[in-house]
Structure 1
């Protein structure tokens, strides 16, 4: 089967339950009229660079190796490896330790197809949308310019649209500029088989002003208006055959800030503290892991804890890394989230709250953990490859997007751990229109009255995390 080209439009940080007819009428209508995936989820940690990489490789962090937005990496032996920074990504790429999976850009090049990226995201996130773009000669336009943008496309956009506007929150001018670059320059010049447009709203405004603030709602309306321009252009017969819309994660409210990032005893080893935190132990023996987990679950800031022994099994009091598909050799010995509200008892943009580590103000949006508000994402598609007016309740997640696109192009999905969402596809393939069986289960870990829950779906032998929460004595409450 091949129904042609695809444009993937991302609304960074958009919770599914914030897509309403009042706030985002164009996106709301698009989801209703096309194939809408009701139970779409992010990856863990629910951080942007992890999510970008998981989307563009069709694999979870345990396979591709970008295990967090920042972590300890061999190329940065004396400091944190920062995936937002071009310099760090270049170091890892030069050492052959950036990614362990094939990217969509590499797949397109191998198949003789073309790919382009237009992004308002950070330099690091834009790089991970097509990490080998420069080497492959595939066009990239970033509002950050060099070295992210490819020079010829960057100059063509400037020649057409003038200077790139300054960043702001809401980031209206830059998102609108990028949309014009897509329509007026990228498609006329390159007509790519696969193209990514990444709008960094409502993520930017949510972090600054809060998930439900007037400013964030203005950012949603602005992003939706730009999407409406794309739909008008597309429905007039321009651009790709198919359009997919997605968000990479949601956001919840950062309710209270840790007084200090120095929350771990120095003798444990090194750590990266954030919405998701990783501990790299000086002594990574099973016995030492057990001691650290025992200490962690007694701390008021501690949410869910992940630690595996030398056989890959869970350390007592923790959940195994394999449960969240983040069991990569470059990963932390022990990981944990900061405490958040119990999303099993109730959830929503006005309810979901968490502790946070730094850089936002109380009331600002945060993400990275396992609250349902962080994991629930937008995913929908329209075009000749997709069923019209179809609402799928089959769980799916970011690594399923690229296998689905490849399948609509008639290309192999070998090496992807995600699955093509065949239940939503049109065509003669006997797999199309058939939903897989789904099982549901909840994993638990209990120690010192600290109770952790991780709800999963199991589809064709693979797990997708629905959400996670903690309860019990000694924890932070809002």
Structure 2
């Protein structure tokens, strides 16, 4: 039976750097950190520091070796690497488990593809509905719902639920366009903090029985050289290997033997590579380089282990929040830890 006396809220701010959170720039987030608890070194993303793999981790707690969701691409036997939202979470989600326990859940996100990626259609209230952006929705330069649209949708939703998952996307867009330490990105972090403050205000009714977990999915790094790092070309002769590149990280499926590993490491712009599971490897670029040439100049990217640091804050008025606040102050929580913690808070059955 679900813990009906508790509301757990997960707020994910896409690409907001832990290092840029401060009393001056992000006062609303800083207040939650001070009144609650904050991981001093931040949280830790999956090895591929990308959006879809980490959101799948947040909502399932299941390792990529089981789900195939290693990055923004997922491995499916017989199909190869496919876009992760197409594959979905491929594991039981918190939305599933809340529903099975007779509870109610809500999700409002600033990246419409996250509805499929996180299995959000199983929630009782979903925005954007079906993962489709309603006509007239204010969007960012990349076509994702703007923070203001997410706030408006959240304010219109019934947030009296057992599980609420909210997501703000604009820091990621601005950091991609101009770089994570650019003046434009810094300004956006402040603006998104304002939107975050409005989400916190929307949770005021019921705050005394609410636990809020505030996260980011990854950091970003500055791109100085727009020339694509040609990993796929270097491995094209190894017909048993399949490559999926994404920003400053890349996934390789297959048996990477010594010859392939040497070929990979010899590619100009490659920093290193490591095995993630029995049949999946990861490679990443040197700082300032990326794998995929973009149609426009990009100031920032992510994917490499350099971008694994996540924001990790626990706050709220529920008594159940207190031990988590103290725990996070001495921890560097993994992206895979949050779903089991939330399940335990809500009294959900294991699995």
The TM tier, using the shorter chain, reads: 0.7 to 0.9
**1:110-153 CA distance string (max 9 Å, x none):** 11111121011142x2322225x2xx4632112xx5x426xxxx
Equivalent residue runs for 1:71-220 within 5 Å: 73-74=76-77, 76=79, 80-84=81-85, 88-89=86-87, 99=90, 101-123=91-113, 125-130=114-119, 133=121, 136=122, 138-142=124-128, 145=129, 147-148=130-131, 164-169=136-141, 174-187=146-159, 191-220=160-189
State the TM-score, normalizing by the size of structure 2: 0.86
Q: Is the 8 A contact 2:98 2:348 kept in 1?
A: no
Shift of 1:71: 5.0
Determine the structure 2 residue equivalent to 1:266: 236
Q: Quote the Cα distance in structure 2 between the aligned partners of 1:379 and 1:266.
A: 40
Q: Is residue 2:300 matched to residue 1:365?
A: yes
- Selected match of 2:309 from 362, 368, 376: 376
Shift of 1:260: 6.2
State the TM-score, normalizing by the size of structure 1: 0.64
Q: Quote the Cα distance in structure 2 between the aligned partners of 1:137 and 1:207.
A: 30
Q: Quote the Cα distance in structure 1 between the aligned partners of 2:343 and 2:335.
A: 14
More helix by share: 2
Shift of 1:170: 9.2
Alignment root-mean-square deviation, CA: 2.9
Shift of 1:35: 2.0
Shift of 1:227: 1.6
The structure showing larger relative contact order (alpha-carbon pairs under 8 Å, at least 6 residues apart) is: 2
Shift of 1:386: 1.5
Q: Quote the Cα distance in structure 1 between the aligned partners of 2:150 and 2:209.
A: 17
Structure 1: gaps of 5 or more residues: 308-320, 322-326, 341-352, 416-478
Determine the structure 1 residue equivalent to 2:259: 291
Other structure's SS at 1:117 match: strand
Q: Is residue 2:286 matched to residue 1:339?
A: yes
Q: Is the 8 A contact 1:45 1:68 kept in 2?
A: yes
Q: Quote the Cα distance in structure 2 between the aligned partners of 1:111 and 1:201.
A: 34
User: Relative to 1, partners in 2 of residues 1:258 and 1:110: Cα closer, same or farther, differing over 3 Å?
Assistant: same
Other structure's SS at 2:69 match: coil
Q: Quote the Cα distance in structure 1 between the aligned partners of 2:84 and 2:272.
A: 23
Q: Is residue 2:284 matched to residue 1:302?
A: no
